[in-house]
Amino acid sequence: MKKTTTRLADGRELIYYDGRDDAVRDAVDRRPLDPMASASEVRRDPLLGEHIAIASHRQGRTYYPPADECPLCPSQEGRLSEIPDSDYDVAVFENRFPSLSGDTGRCEVVCFTPDHDKSFADLTPTQARLVLDTWTDRTADLSQHPAVEQVYCFENRGKEIGVTLDHPHGQIYAYPFITPRTEQMLRAAEQHREATGGRNLFDDTVEAEQADGRRIVLDGEHWTAFVPYAAHWPYEVHLYPKRRVPDLLGLDEDERAEFPHIYLDLLRRFDRLFGPGLPPTPYVSGWHQAPFGIEHRREFALHLELFTIRRTADKLKFLAGSESGMGVFINDVPPEAAAQRLRDVVSA
């Protein structure tokens, strides 16, 4: 992997990740942009102990431009984009409309491919491996940011999820705090450790799913994917390396080599869940990594959580009173049925 770092016209960082060592990325951003300025603020809810990002400047972010004006496609003569080069393998840049910036963290955009009409599921294993290596490198770099406590690499796909750009891309949030969901996992892991004389919650959870078997979707040599026993979403899969590591940096070469095949299989199964003739299944897919500098960090288990808000071919799962108001999810699809459906829908 070759890494080339440059700057956009407004001072934001842009990083090219190429699979070829001879790739040359020297194009200059010729857009007349003012220096980047954002007004991100993090506030703490005293009742819940949770942090909220206030980012009013995001109201003006780009919203569904036509394909020939996509800011994530490579620049061409007469059309300049966020990517000055005329081609790229994977490109990462600081978000022009960040939820977090400066002392409040950092937000980055990850462009998976220059092809506007593809999705992650359309990538080759070689391309998907390059994205994995990109996520790993960004985690390593952002871990050195003085304000950052946790890094979350994720993809939102589909208008139903709230995506405002069609080009295949993901994001990376580098938080200046530990997120509420991770705090819950850390508390549960500590309680489990105390109640079981030192056993690891993540290990026990994966072992229980493998022993039960009914919710296993894919089981490789180094990775296992299952629908969790208490799934929140209609179709939700958790993907774990079989060897517990705290973050992406901990994966070894065998685990990295197998990941693209397992993950692409999962994504293609998601796209076949509801039959032909429908738009691609909307989903959120994100890596849960251990926060930096916490006690028992190595007892946290890296894993990916993938879920869709579509519950049938023509119905979405909306977060209504119980979910939004009280945080109590009500799932219409039994996890065992979801797992069976995902096993039956064979990936191409």
Per-residue pLDDT, 292: 96
pLDDT tens digit string along 186-204?
999 999 999 999 999 999 9
The stretches in the chain having pLDDT less than 70 are: 59-60, 62-63, 347-348
Q: Please report the pLDDT score of residue 103 as a whole number.
A: 85
Provide φ and ψ at 33, rounded to 5°.
Answer: -95, 140
Q: Convert the pLDDT of each residue in 113-158 to its tens digit.
A: 999 999 999 999 999 999 999 999 999 999 999 999 999 999 999 9
CA–CA separation, 146 vs 106, rounded Å? 11
Tell which residue, 150, 167, 45, has the closest CA to residue 106: 150
> Is 192 in the active site?
no
Cα 321 to chain centroid, rounded:
27
Tokens representing 79 are 């059309």
Annotated binding-site ranges for Zn(2+)? 70, 73, 116, 167
Quick one: the chain helix, strand, coil %, rounded to 5? Answer: 30, 25, 45
How does the average pLDDT of the chain come out, rounded? 95
Structure tokens at 174: 């580098």
pLDDT, residue 37, reads 75
Instruction: Assess contact for 3 and 15: CB atoms under 8 A.
Output: yes
Domains of the chain: 2-175 (3.30.428.10), 180-344 (3.30.428.10)
Whole-number Å distance between alpha carbons of 106 and 110? 13
**Active-site annotation holder among 169, 238, 288, 303:** 169
Residue type, 123: L
What is this structure's pTM?
A: 0.96
pLDDT of residue 212: 98
Q: Residues annotated in the binding site, as ranges?
A: 70, 73, 116, 167
